[in-house]
Structure 1
Amino acid sequence: MSANPKSPPKIKRYSGPAGGWGSAKSVAAILRREHKALAGAGVLSQQNKPEGFMCVSCAWAKPAKTHPLEFCENGAKATAWEVTSRRADRPFFANHSLKDLEKWRDHDLEEQGRLTHPMRWDPTTDRYVPVSWQAAFDEIGRELRSLKPQEVDFYTSGRASLETSYMYQLFARMYGSNNLPDSSNMCHESSSVALPESIGASVGTAVLSDFENTDCIFYIGQNVGTSSPRLLHDLQDAVDRGVRIVTFNMLRERGLERFVNPQKPSQMLTGSETLISSQYYQVRNGGDIAALFGICKALIEADDALKATGHSRVAGNDGRPADPSNAAMVAFAASMASADKKHVLDHDFIKDHTAGFETFAAAARQHAWPELERISGLTREQMVQAAEIYANSNAVLMVYGMGLTQHLMGVQTVHMVVNLALLRGNIGKPGANICAVRGHSNVQGQRTVGITEKPGLAPLDKLSELYGFEPPRWTGRSTVETCKAIMNGEARAFVSLGGNFLKAVPETGAMEVAWRKLRLTVHIATKLNRSHVIHGEIAYLLPCLGRIEIDQQATGPQAVSMESSIAHFHGSRGKVKPASDELLSEPAIVAGIAKATLVEGKVPWDEWVGNYDRIREAIEATYPETFKDFNKRMFQPGGFPRPLPARERKWATSNGKANFITPERLFPELPTAARSDVLHLATLRSNDQFNTTIYGYGDRFRGVEGTRKVVFMNAGDIAALNLENGTSVDLTTAVDEATVRKVTALRVVEYDIPRGSCAAYYPETNPLFPLDHHDAKSKTPSYKLLPVVVTRSAEKPCD
């Protein structure tokens, strides 16, 4: 096994800021470890530049005006991880059986380096052995032709380019399958369901200039320091302009507190810090709907109070005075009156652009403050304070992430974010929009070009017209449904375009057992991971070029494109020599499998592989409004925007209005609601990982070094359970208790987290999550809310 990268486990509070010298040292360390100390630094200078490559990590945008170094700590780690000099080559696989590799940790599998040649699993030796590309394509094609299209799932992670994603979904549909699960099913599907219902757009409406024009940011359930650190530049610039950032997050996260910009010598030399959040509200796990309802209630009742005093001449509210027992509420209403405000809400906007306000306002008035406080974990004064800040801001930007979407009520929580925005018209004007921060670098773009299991979201008639086939019209499987199909034997083959599916999904243990019963598993990948060493009866590992590598095809070096979190499309050019001469590009591999599988069709696969301009022309022909002049604009500085009518206050909803949608309840119905021994678990990423990729066993910001087997708990809960800081504990799932789901030997870490809540790392705690524990509409796994029982372990802490 590779050398152990971990130091002995150490838990010590980190006092430094996000960024700063801690970030610089971390980047230097991984460049040295991946043997890229000098070459890596040169590559990084081209990261996220207009003519350079788009980061392979998060989905934040490439700005038109770039910084000298347009990368963050995690982006640098992702680049070093990909351009590493390490190789998982023929000798490596000759020396290791898959049974042996199953015992390795995820970090150690990926740390072997880049895959170098196509391989097929040999059952006689239990090893991956080299195979020619054509032999691989031919057998994969034969196997796929022998199966029913409903038995095959085509999974996509978030890294594949727009070009590859378009080809992949077209191949799947020509084959006859709509089973196109993707990583969006596991992260922002709640946004993709909620936003169209609320505002008629499947993505956020914000653009980068909104950060320059806003005068207040509500930042909800997204850890910028770990998940999208480049966004800290925009937050810092906003703070420097006097913008107030109001944060709602369960844990105290360093990136949302303090930041030293590594690109500002004055800060690096003096240690001068930017305080990011002006207010920081720690919402209890699952309490976001209640917290947002509290803010909305305060706004609506202050508006009522203004009318009751005769100060407001606005019709449409019930004119009730503010509750005199709520001093903060009375002060809020009085402050608005003294400022000669005629109203708190934007009634003109509500009247002209929205539907459902009266029903929503009535629900907000009816919720009692004690109930809102109990569920949210915030005081009434805190919610009123947030409302007053909101009411005194002209343009408020709503930023949120997976802390809201990966919940049992994720869709309804996103509805609440929109409801709050609609109360004061904070959508569709400069500085006031919805910013749904996506995770992986092109997870949003894949949907834009057809990666979806929902036939109603794909331009099937246009595909039929362009390529002369009849696309399947049945609803395919989402990620959770694919897992169920694998477990019950309905799925027979799994083709994966990137990712580490087995580690990313719930029910990890049961899934690994079922995975071995698949007839065929095919993985297009750059590095080895757990999903590759657990395999089907026939298994192929097909290594591809990475985005950072030069992609030389028949007409010369090629470029690819992707979509950022703010719905702009960006070009990307590879800059380094490929890891192996035997690698093929993702488009070439998809085309090779397609040609070997499909009996007929009029897709010019070879022409597309030879010149990616032709693929983009096909994308433009399929989506003419979205991708107008695609090839001409793909390297436009700052990217070119995806048309979104909601940005112009045009609502592509069924009623032509932006909709207030009232959540059914404040908190999900759980069988454990009355149990005092249950904590609500949320999974987290460390600052030394991205999704399932583990760069190292440290989490600098949370003070954890040398281990990932920890559970963060409130001091009061630790005492109540008769535990101590450092105690070894087991976590057991407290829903669906007919099946025992347990993760053992986690080290208790006292942390600033609300009572009743706890947190542990993803994907280590994925085995605790039942497949059915997801949002009812989006089917997004509730990785941010799971009732668990914490008990003293018979085992020592496992590192």
Structure 2
Amino acid sequence: MADDLPQPKQYDYATGGWGSVRGMSKIELSAKAAPGALLTLKDQNKPGGYMCSSCAWTKPEDPHAFEFCENGAKATLWDLTTDRCTPETIGRHTVTQLREMGDYRLEKLGRLTEPMRYNPATDRYERVAWRTAFDEIGAKLRELDPKAVTFYASGKAALEPSYLYAIFARAYGHNNLPDSSNMCHETTSVGLKKVIGSPVGTCQMDDFDHVDVIFYMGQNPGTNSPRILHTLQKAVQRGCKIIVFNPLKEKGLREFVNPQNPVQMTIGKPTKIDHMYCQVRPGGDIAALMGVCKRIIDLDGEAREHGGPGVLDRDFIAEHTAGFDAFIAKVHATDWDEIERASGLTRAEMEAAGDLYANAGNVMGIYGMGLTQHVHGSQSIGMLVNLLLLRGNIGRKGAGCSPIRGHSNVQGQRTVGITEKTKLAPVDKYRELFDLETPEEDGHTTVTFLEALLDGSNKGYIGLGGNLAKAVPDHERVHEAWREMELTVHVATKLNTTHCMPGKSSWILPCLVRAEEDIQAGGSQWVSMEDSFSHIYGSRSSRTPASPHLKSETAIVCGLARATLQDNHPKLTWDDWQDDYSRIRDCIAATYPDEFHDMNARMNKPGGFYRGNAARERQWKTDSGKAEFTDPTTLNACGIGDAEGRFHLVTLRSNDQFNTTIYGHDDRLRGLSGSRMIVLMKPEDMRAQALAEGDLVALVTDAGDAPDGRAEAQRRVAGLKVVPYDLPTGTVAGYFPELNPLVPLWYHDKLSHTPASKGIPVRIERS
């Protein structure tokens, strides 16, 4: 009876092409971008120019004529709006009224122009002088126990302010330095480091010129990193085969029209990107990869039985790996019925992927948060590494693992000291360079910060960008506690929901965007970023700032540190660092001499400079001193299994979205538009639930009590319109952050504490 089912929504055209051009034009008009914004796009991601503030893709040595993508252009145009959110604009509304507006309308008010302080008597933000803001915030910080204060970083801040922010926190007296990595790719930092000794990917751009097969897992390039599509297109045209594992059939992984190719834009045909598309269940990647490995091991056995050399690279395995025998035993002990059930794929699909792997010279694994944001996401990463190790596909050209980062400098922030883990901080160098003794105990991750917020022990918060209160799980409990903090300080470019939840003393400190010129006493300043491939690049722009009262993130960090620490640390030369950022880079080079030597001289060379990766050189900084095979304890990464009436929810970003920033209400590449309050369902599941297209439902978390046995209040999001979509059975999907209230704070990856937002157990109720 399939004929009576509603037709799934879809986008009927290729990614890129004229749709991408129209999408950028629409946001340009909506954002009312300044005329100079188009000149900024011309120089974006080019040597000597501005590095995009969207994803962490590379700033190439030999750029295209237009080295930006649809979402990168949207981010720049959104930043360079001509709308202004002045103290008078904000003062027309109480903060309670502002909070009801939602993030899209708040950001549409425009760029913040002056520092403001919250007045609880009037429930309004009011203009304040910079000197007053710094002095009063510093005085309040000195009143508080440093260990009861958290310094959060959103991921966009450049290396220079990030390095100083980490020093400020430790000089103040804590290691409470979570950042947006905790919310997305911390599972890579922890899980990947455990098995190969590197917290970041091992690939370089030139590997794409030599790769034969790519396993592409849990990432949507059409929306989240469109510039990679140029690279994937080139690899496919050369003969590379891409095998996709994703619950949704994302258009960016199906076909692509290159907007910079006049022939393809007019009379040419789209490039087909995927060779195979495997619609794995949420969390089913462990089982899917287990099935692929099982096929490869069987092929190896068959070849060796017939006197052949086998499929596995046994020399590499013997010299460079540990745990191989235990992994092989686990593969043999796992039967195909279990694998099919846990993955949602057929044995034939997984065996076909295994055949491609076995016959490929070089294989690369690319992944995103669809792989990492699960309770057992670390084990998913371990399984991907298992696959690569079987044939020595780490540490040689054309092979390796490559996580795709969503923030433009989130990897770099960790590199220069923003970490809650003392063993990862350069404490010896702090002592040597600055006579700085740092706290010995680890600080807060984002999850432990929220736990401290809920139990009342966290009293202060400084946010270096971001909209953290909207991005986190468990909104109802967290938002109630947020306003009980003694101090909240927000370094920001536009107003958002988090700013509308002020603590007892609250401040908004407006900063430059990266696309604006940063002029200090030492002249126009460069900043620097790290991309997903561990390359460091300089960035500078000539756009006039939105307001003469704006300060750079570096200047704000220096101002806060001066006011808080006063003259207690004479070797922390905040005035000198603020005047000339090259002095900060000299300190970074002195702190990390092996990776950042001659930083000022090297960062503006075309292609920047590579800071190196030991695993790429087959130097394994693991406990065993080798790359480690792991045998998973589960076949599905979701922490809670199947039950009658239970679905697993995948949260998504739309095509008009960057994290919590909503540029518009079109999700073109999925054929969706209008309200974001929707739930995508498989038509057969709709019929089983007696639901029709357009019905209003609620999603209710079906996770049971907390691990400590504590009974919890119901988590529920109502008013969601049912939309038919092509999904695996038992899977529903909807938008982040609207559905974040459904994620329990304790529902996170076991090792990294990254919220498990890609496999939330839910039930469906009629609204």
TM-score by length of 2: 0.97
Alignment-derived partner of residue 166 in structure 1: 163
Q: Is the 8 A contact 2:256 2:271 kept in 1?
A: yes
Alignment-derived partner of residue 427 in structure 2: 460
Matched, 1:380 2:347: yes
Matched, 1:235 2:209: no
Alignment-derived partner of residue 519 in structure 2: 552
1:746 is paired with a residue of what secondary structure? strand
Q: Is the 8 A contact 1:11 1:705 kept in 2?
A: no
> In 2, Cα distance between the equivalents of 1:535 and 1:11?
42
Q: Against the structure 1 CA distance between its residues 520 and 253, is the aligned structure 2 distance closer, same or farther, given a 3 Å change threshold?
A: same
- How is 1:342-361 mapped onto 2 (pairs within 5 angstroms)? 342-361=309-328
- Kindly provide the CA deviation profile for residues 129-172 of structure 1, in whole angstroms up to 9, marking residues without a partner as x: 11111110111111111111110000000100000000000000
Moved more, 86-95 or 443-452: 86-95
Alignment-derived partner of residue 4 in structure 1: none
Matched, 1:628 2:625: no
Matched, 1:721 2:718: no
Alignment-derived partner of residue 395 in structure 1: 362
Matched, 1:189 2:186: yes
Q: Against the structure 1 CA distance between its residues 635 and 674, is the aligned structure 2 distance closer, same or farther, given a 3 Å change threshold?
A: closer
Alignment-derived partner of residue 410 in structure 1: 377
Q: Which one-letter code corresponds to 1:758 in the other structure?
A: V
Picking from 140, 144, 148, the partner of 1:143 is: 140
Alignment-derived partner of residue 744 in structure 1: 718
2:151 is paired with a residue of what secondary structure? strand
Q: Which one-letter code corresponds to 1:650 in the other structure?
A: Q
- Kindly provide the CA deviation profile for residues 573-625 of structure 1, in whole angstroms up to 9, marking residues without a partner as x: 02200000000111110011101111400211111111000000000110101
- How is 1:302-313 mapped onto 2 (pairs within 5 angstroms)? 302-309=299-306, 311-312=307-308
CA positional deviation for 1:487: 1.1
Matched, 1:479 2:446: yes
CA positional deviation for 1:11: 9.5
Picking from 647, 666, 671, the partner of 1:698 is: 666
Picking from 571, 574, 579, the partner of 1:610 is: 579
Q: Is the 8 A contact 2:51 2:59 kept in 1?
A: yes
> In 2, Cα distance between the equivalents of 1:786 and 1:559?
42
Q: Which one-letter code corresponds to 1:455 in the other structure?
A: T
- Kindly provide the CA deviation profile for residues 664-720 of structure 1, in whole angstroms up to 9, marking residues without a partner as x: 12125756x352100000100001000111111110011111110111111111111
Alignment-derived partner of residue 787 in structure 1: 761
1:730 is paired with a residue of what secondary structure? strand
1:375 is paired with a residue of what secondary structure? helix
1:782 is paired with a residue of what secondary structure? coil
Q: Is the 8 A contact 2:179 2:418 kept in 1?
A: yes
Q: CA RMSD in A?
A: 1.3
Q: Is the 8 A contact 1:301 1:365 kept in 2?
A: no
1:102 is paired with a residue of what secondary structure? helix
Runs of at least 4 residues off by over 6 Å: none
Alignment-derived partner of residue 263 in structure 1: 260
> In 1, Cα distance between the equivalents of 2:196 and 2:14?
37
Matched, 1:755 2:719: no
Moved more, 257-266 or 641-650: 641-650
Q: Against the structure 1 CA distance between its residues 670 and 221, is the aligned structure 2 distance closer, same or farther, given a 3 Å change threshold?
A: closer
> In 2, Cα distance between the equivalents of 1:614 and 1:114?
30
Alignment-derived partner of residue 524 in structure 1: 491
1:430 is paired with a residue of what secondary structure? coil
Alignment-derived partner of residue 364 in structure 1: 331
Q: Is the 8 A contact 1:31 1:37 kept in 2?
A: no
Picking from 18, 43, 64, the partner of 1:46 is: 43
Alignment-derived partner of residue 449 in structure 1: 416
Alignment-derived partner of residue 336 in structure 1: none
CA positional deviation for 1:307: 2.2
> In 2, Cα distance between the equivalents of 1:38 and 1:109?
23
In structure 1, runs of 5+ residues without a counterpart are 1-9, 313-341, 794-799
Q: Is the 8 A contact 1:11 1:704 kept in 2?
A: no
> In 1, Cα distance between the equivalents of 2:542 and 2:763?
50
In structure 2, runs of 5+ residues without a counterpart are 1-6, 706-711
Picking from 530, 539, 542, the partner of 1:572 is: 539
Alignment-derived partner of residue 35 in structure 1: 32
- Kindly provide the CA deviation profile for residues 273-332 of structure 1, in whole angstroms up to 9, marking residues without a partner as x: 0000011111011101000011111111211222233x23xxxxxxxxxxxxxxxxxxxx
Matched, 1:19 2:16: yes
CA positional deviation for 1:14: 2.0
Moved more, 36-45 or 370-379: 36-45
Q: Which one-letter code corresponds to 1:56 in the other structure?
A: S
- How is 1:93-132 mapped onto 2 (pairs within 5 angstroms)? 93-132=90-129
> In 2, Cα distance between the equivalents of 1:102 and 1:552?
34
> In 1, Cα distance between the equivalents of 2:430 and 2:639?
44
Q: Is the 8 A contact 2:377 2:637 kept in 1?
A: no
> In 1, Cα distance between the equivalents of 2:87 and 2:474?
33
Q: Is the 8 A contact 1:114 1:526 kept in 2?
A: yes
Q: Is the 8 A contact 2:743 2:757 kept in 1?
A: yes
Alignment-derived partner of residue 655 in structure 2: 687
2:413 is paired with a residue of what secondary structure? helix
> In 2, Cα distance between the equivalents of 1:782 and 1:137?
37
Alignment-derived partner of residue 288 in structure 2: 291
> In 2, Cα distance between the equivalents of 1:439 and 1:259?
20
> In 1, Cα distance between the equivalents of 2:538 and 2:378?
32
Q: Is the 8 A contact 2:53 2:156 kept in 1?
A: yes
> In 2, Cα distance between the equivalents of 1:190 and 1:91?
43
Q: Is the 8 A contact 1:18 1:260 kept in 2?
A: yes
- Kindly provide the CA deviation profile for residues 421-447 of structure 1, in whole angstroms up to 9, marking residues without a partner as x: 000000111110110111100000000
1:626 is paired with a residue of what secondary structure? helix
Q: Which one-letter code corresponds to 2:288 in the other structure?
A: A
> In 1, Cα distance between the equivalents of 2:759 and 2:562?
44
Q: How many residues align?
A: 753
TM-score by length of 1: 0.93
Q: Which one-letter code corresponds to 1:184 in the other structure?
A: S
2:595 is paired with a residue of what secondary structure? coil
Matched, 1:63 2:60: yes
Q: Which one-letter code corresponds to 2:656 in the other structure?
A: D
Alignment-derived partner of residue 338 in structure 1: none
Alignment-derived partner of residue 744 in structure 2: 770
Q: Is the 8 A contact 2:8 2:683 kept in 1?
A: no
- Kindly provide the CA deviation profile for residues 70-129 of structure 1, in whole angstroms up to 9, marking residues without a partner as x: 000000100001010011012202211101101101100011111000000012221111
2:81 is paired with a residue of what secondary structure? coil
1:283 is paired with a residue of what secondary structure? coil
> In 2, Cα distance between the equivalents of 1:716 and 1:617?
61
Q: Which one-letter code corresponds to 1:112 in the other structure?
A: L
